C-alpha cells in the first residue's frame, strides 16, 4: 500500500512545520495538517497593527508561541505589557510614552525576567523630547540593537556581552551621548551613531577594531523599517 504525505505521523508533520519559514499554505492544505498546526502552532512571525484586537493578538501569540521567531508591534502605547514572552526578534514602534509635564517623557522597557531576544528594534519619537530606558540585564543574549529615539539611557549596556551591532539614531538631538561603556562589549563589531560622542571613546573604539559610523547625518533606514511593517517580519539572520 502506498502512503501519502497525509499519512505521515504527527511528529514528522510538526518537523516539517518547524522547517518551513511560512507554514500557512502547508497547514491549510488539509484538515489533518490544520488540526496539528492549530494545536502545535505554525506562525513564525506575528504583527500587531493599530486598531487590531489586542485580545486576538494575545490569543494568537499564545497559540503559536512554540514557533514564533519575531514580532512587530506597530503603533501601540507601552507594548511590552502585551508580550506574553519575548521571541528572538522584536520590533516596537511606539506612538506615545507616559508624560510628566515636569520632566522629559520616559519609555521604560523592563521585562519581568531575562529574555532570549537577539534582535531588538525600538522606534520612539526622535523629534520630540523622549527618553528610552532599557533594563539591559534582561537582554544579555542580544546580538543586534537598533534604537531610534530622542534620547537613550545607556547605563548598564555593558551587560550586552553578545551584541555585535549597535545603531543609535537620535534624530535632531545632537547633544552629547555617553557611549563610553560600549567599548567594553567583547563582541561589538559595528556601531552607527549620529549624536556627539567623546573623542577619546571614538579613538578607543577604532583602536579595538570596531567599525564606527559616526555621522551626524546618519538616519534610520526607513525603507527597511517600512519593509518590516508591511511584511510583519524582522530579519533575524
Note whether residue 119 is domain-resident.
yes
The reply to whether 158 and 213 lie within a common domain is yes
Range of the domain at 29: 9-42
Average pLDDT over residues 212-236: 59
- CATH number of 122's domain: 3.80.10
The reply to whether 62 and 174 lie within a common domain is yes
pTM of the predicted protein model: 0.82
Note whether residue 3 is domain-resident.
no
Note whether residue 99 is domain-resident.
yes
Note whether residue 226 is domain-resident.
yes
The reply to whether 34 and 54 lie within a common domain is no
Note whether residue 4 is domain-resident.
no
The reply to whether 141 and 185 lie within a common domain is yes
Note whether residue 215 is domain-resident.
yes
- Structurally, the chain folds into a number of domains equal to 2
The reply to whether 73 and 101 lie within a common domain is yes
pLDDT of residue 189: 93
The reply to whether 34 and 79 lie within a common domain is no
pLDDT of residue 216: 55
> Which pLDDT tens digit goes with each residue over 61-98?
888 988 888 888 876 666 777 777 889 998 887 765 55
Asked if pLDDT for residue 188 goes beyond 90, the answer is yes
The reply to whether 49 and 155 lie within a common domain is yes
The reply to whether 32 and 115 lie within a common domain is no
Phi-psi region of 125 (alpha: psi -120 to 50; beta: other; left: phi over 0): beta
Residue 56 has which C-alpha cell? 486576538
Q: Over the Cα atoms of the chain, what is R_g?
A: 20
Sign of the C-alpha dihedral computed for residues 80, 81, 87 and 93 taken in this order: negative
pLDDT range class, residue 220, cuts 50, 70, 90: low
The reply to whether 90 and 54 lie within a common domain is yes
The reply to whether 33 and 47 lie within a common domain is no
Q: How far apart are CA 162 and CA 146, in angstroms?
A: 14
Q: How far apart are CA 205 and CA 89, in angstroms?
A: 27
The reply to whether 90 and 201 lie within a common domain is yes
The reply to whether 34 and 132 lie within a common domain is no
CB 142 within 8 A of CB 168: no
CB 217 within 8 A of CB 194: yes
pLDDT range class, residue 175, cuts 50, 70, 90: low
Asked if pLDDT for residue 125 goes beyond 80, the answer is no
> Which pLDDT tens digit goes with each residue over 38-49?
888 999 888 887
Note whether residue 2 is domain-resident.
no
> Which pLDDT tens digit goes with each residue over 47-69?
887 778 888 888 888 889 888 88
Note whether residue 236 is domain-resident.
no
Give the list of residues 6+ apart from residue 156 with CB closer than 8 angstroms, or none: 135, 136, 137
Amino acid at each position: 500500500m502506498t502512503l501519502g504525505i497525509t499519512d505521515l505521523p504527527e511528529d514528522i508533520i510538526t518537523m516539517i512545520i518547524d522547517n518551513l519559514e511560512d507554514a500557512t499554505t502547508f497547514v491549510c492544505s488539509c484538515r489533518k495538517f490544520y488540526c496539528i498546526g492549530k494545536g502545535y502552532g505554525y506562525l513564525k512571525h506575528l504583527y500587531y497593527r493599530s486598531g487590531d484586537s489586542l485580545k486576538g493578538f494575545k490569543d494568537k501569540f499564545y497559540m503559536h508561541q512554540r514557533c514564533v521567531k519575531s514580532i512587530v508591534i506597530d503603533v501601540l502605547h507601552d507594548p511590552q505589557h502585551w508580550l506574553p514572552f519575548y521571541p528572538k526578534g522584536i520590533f516596537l514602534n511606539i506612538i506615545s510614552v507616559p508624560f510628566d509635564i515636569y520632566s522629559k517623557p520616559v519609555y521604560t522597557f523592563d521585562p519581568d525576567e531575562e529574555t532570549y531576544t537577539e534582535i531588538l528594534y525600538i522606534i520612539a519619537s526622535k523629534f520630540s523630547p523622549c527618553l528610552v530606558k532599557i533594563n539591559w540585564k534582561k537582554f544579555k543574549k542580544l546580538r543586534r540593537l537598533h534604537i531610534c529615539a530622542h534620547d537613550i539611557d545607556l547605563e548598564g549596556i555593558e551587560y550586552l556581552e553578545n551584541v555585535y551591532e549597535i545603531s543609535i539614531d537620535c534624530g535632531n538631538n545632537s547633544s552629547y551621548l555617553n557611549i563610553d561603556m560600549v567599548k567594553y562589549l567583547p563582541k561589538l563589531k559595528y556601531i552607527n551613531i549620529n549624536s556627539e560622542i567623546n573623542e577619546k571613546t571614538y579613538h578607543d573604539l577604532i583602536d579595538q577594531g570596531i567599525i564606527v559610523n559616526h555621522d551626524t547625518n546618519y538616519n534610520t533606514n526607513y525603507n527597511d523599517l517600512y519593509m518590516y511593517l508591511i511584511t510583519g517580519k524582522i530579519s533575524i539572520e
